[in-house]
Amino acid sequence: MASASRAALSSIPLFHEKLLKSNRILAVCGAGLSAASGLPTFRGAGGLWRNHNAVDLASPDAFEADPGLVWLFYAYRRHMALKAKPNPAHHALAELARKIPGFKCLSQNVDNLHVRAQHPPNQLSLLHGSLFSLKCSESPQCSWTDPLNTADPLCPALAPASEDSVDPTKPLPLLDPSKPLADIPASELPHCPECKTGLVRPGVVWFGEMLDEGMLDEIDGWIEKEVVDMVLVIGTSSFVYPAAGYAERARTKGRTSVVTVNLEITEKDWGRMKEGDFGFEGDAAVLLPVLLGPVIGTLEVPQGDA
Ligand SMILES: [Zn+2]
């Protein structure tokens, strides 16, 4: 099949026409969505924290080997996420959910910004969990969880991760690999209030761990139920997992437009788009309010926390 013309693929009027006829919309959001809120993602190439590859800190083995170090990494990310604010793309998606009951948003982001943008919870699936949920390191043997804990710092031993730079031209000592970190013994970290033996750990999905099965079943059921008119892929590529998987599965149900909104869309990806698909290259925080405008109207970004 000949590839679709670039003009049609990036036509906002054609996109609006399709959007206004769409009742069932799936969004898959990746790190690029939160980049516009100033949050580093630590995934993929260059994901370094101090001199550690972030991938090496995000695993059950790393936590077992040095829970203090892993907790400092997550405590720092919690602190940064609390300082960040949801951007207009988060607000646009939350408003789309309020306007279209058949809209479901899947997000790989763990920063809680969708929740803080008041995204309706029954239309949001956090694929990789949240930095602000806690669970027991003995899970699944121990089922203790705390779905929302925004304490910053979480405990006195993690206070160095909650410091802000006094001199913004100098890096925080915590982030300077030449400055050694004090070892935090496990005894100074929070312990599970239920089993008392496990440590409290971040409620995120680590490398080597499975995504929540109940959540995946629920998403599968939603996709299988009826034709999905549109799959919005935001801040990630629509040709890599997991977005690629959801887009392909949605297409098997009928005519589905796959819409990519990403800072960069490669030539290869443009070439792989099908007729009726769309690609919009740029900052999701700028593009989404415009793209979703005919449904959500003019965004009124609330003051205060958001
Ligand atoms: Zn426990």
Percent of the chain with pLDDT over 90: 80
Mean pLDDT of the chain: 92
Residue 250 CA to ligand 1 center (angstroms) comes to: 38
Instruction: Give how far Cα 41 sits from Cα of 37, 59, 74, 108, 245, Å.
Output: 11, 16, 12, 11, 22
Owner of token pair 């789309």: 96
The Cβ of residue 156 has, within 10 Å, a number of other Cβ atoms equal to 7
State residue 13 phi and psi, 5-degree precision. -60, -40
Question: Which pLDDT tens digit goes with each residue over 133-191?
Answer: 999 999 999 999 999 999 999 999 999 999 887 777 776 778 888 888 889 999 999 99
pLDDT for residue 156:
96
Percent of the chain with pLDDT over 70: 94
pLDDT for residue 306:
45
Residue extents of the structural domains in the chain: 1-39+86-128+211-306, 40-83+129-204
pLDDT for residue 163:
87
Residue 155 CA to ligand 1 center (angstroms) comes to: 17
Decide if pLDDT at 301 tops 90: no
Selected residue with higher pLDDT from 238 and 176? 238
| CA 258/CA 72 separation, integer angstroms | 39
Mean pLDDT check: name the lowest of 146-160, 243-257, 274-288, 289-303. 289-303
- pLDDT range class, residue 52, cuts 50, 70, 90: confident
Residue 136 CA to ligand 1 center (angstroms) comes to: 4
pLDDT for residue 43:
60
Residue 138 CA to ligand 1 center (angstroms) comes to: 6
260 φ/ψ sector (left φ>0, alpha ψ -120 to 50, else beta):
beta
CATH topology (fold) of 1-39+86-128+211-306: Rossmann fold (3.40.50)
Q: Do domains 1-39+86-128+211-306 and 40-83+129-204 have the same CATH topology?
A: no
Mean pLDDT to the nearest integer, 7-34: 97
Question: Which pLDDT tens digit goes with each residue over 195-236?
Answer: 999 999 999 999 999 999 999 999 999 999 999 999 999 999
Decide if pLDDT at 263 tops 50: yes
pLDDT for residue 250:
95
Considering the four listed CATH numbers 3.40.50.880, 3.30.1600.10, 3.40.50.300, 3.30.1330.40, the one that applies to the domain covering 40-83+129-204 is 3.30.1600.10
- pLDDT range class, residue 302, cuts 50, 70, 90: low
| CA 197/CA 191 separation, integer angstroms | 7
pLDDT for residue 173:
76
What residues have a C-beta under 5 A from ligand 1, the ion?
136, 138, 142, 144, 192, 194-195, 198
Mean pLDDT to the nearest integer, 23-45: 86
As annotated, the binding site includes 136, 142, 192, 195
Active site residue 114: no
Residue 67 CA to ligand 1 center (angstroms) comes to: 15
pLDDT for residue 175:
81
As annotated, the binding site for Zn(2+) includes 136, 142, 192, 195
User: Which of 90, 91, 119, 128 is flagged as catalytic?
Assistant: 128
DSSP string for residues in the chain: -PPPPHHHHT-HHHHHHHHHT-S-EEEEE-HHHHHTTT-----STT-EETTEEHHHHSSHHHHHH-HHHHHHHHHHHHHHHHHS---HHHHHHHHHHHH-TTEEEEE---SSHHHHTT--GGGEEETTEEEEEEEETTTTTS--EES----SSSSGGGGGGG---SSTTS--GGG-TTSPPPP--GGGSPBPTTTSSSBEEEEEPPTT-PPPHHHHHHHHHHHHHS---EEEEESS-TTSTTHHHHHHHHHTTS--EEEEEES---HHHHHHPPTT-EEEES-HHHHHHHHTHHHH-S----STT-
Decide if pLDDT at 2 tops 70: no
pLDDT for residue 55:
83
Q: Token digits for 226?
A: 């009826």
